Structure 1
Amino acid sequence: MRSDISWKDIESLLLALGAEISEGRGSRVRVALNGVRAVFHRPHPQPQTDKGAVASMRRFLTEAGVRADEI
């Protein structure tokens, strides 16, 4: 699994899919997509996500009904 995906690219994908994104406390980011909600941590100081964050995002997208052929 890749771990060099920038958070900016992930946010762009989420917005393109119609997600609502709002800022939480600190580095927390709240995301809602197709009735599914999750909280993620924006990576810092590096802009790239780690493997755990990529796996969490993948699970979130699956739960939200996003198929690989849609992205």
Structure 2
Amino acid sequence: MKRKYQKTLELTFHRPVSGNIKWSDIESLFIELGAEISEREGSRIGVRLFNDRKVFHRSHPSPNTDKGAVANIREWLRENEVIP
């Protein structure tokens, strides 16, 4: 895994939850892990990864991801044994 994606993964698992992770970096991490991303209604995106499908809300107008979303993503990655 490239350093950029590793850094995003580390930020995702950092305690306390970081509010400074750009959503575009999280999307790039998903793609690096092999995800298929599809546009949904409004600012939602569908992420198909780990034989599972999740729907996330793309953050706006701020590019930073909501802390609750980061916590949910961290738990999803942990469940599928993706840890820094």
TM-score normalised according to structure 2 size: 0.75
Matches within 5 A, 1:1-71: 1-63=17-79, 65-69=80-84
Q: Which stretches of structure 1, 4 residues or more, deviate above 2 A after TM superposition?
A: none
Structure 1's 62 and 36: CA in aligned 2 closer, same or farther, altered over 3 A? farther
List runs of 5+ in structure 1 lacking aligned partners: none
Cα RMSD after superposing both structures:
1.1
8 Å Cα contact 1:38/1:60 also seen in 2: no
> Offset of 1:58 from its aligned partner?
1.1
State, as a whole percentage, how many aligned pairs show the same letter: 54
Q: Report the alpha carbon displacement of residue 60 of structure 1 after superposing the two structures with TM.
A: 2.1
**1:31: how far off?**
0.4
The alpha carbon displacement at 1:54 in A equals: 0.3
Question: What is the match of residue 12 of structure 2?
Answer: none
Secondary structure (helix, strand or coil) at the match of 1:46 reads coil
Deviation at 1:66, TM superposition (A): 3.6
Structure 1 residues 66, 14: CA separation in 2 closer, same or farther (over 3 Å shift)?
farther
Q: Which amino acid aligns with 1:37?
A: R
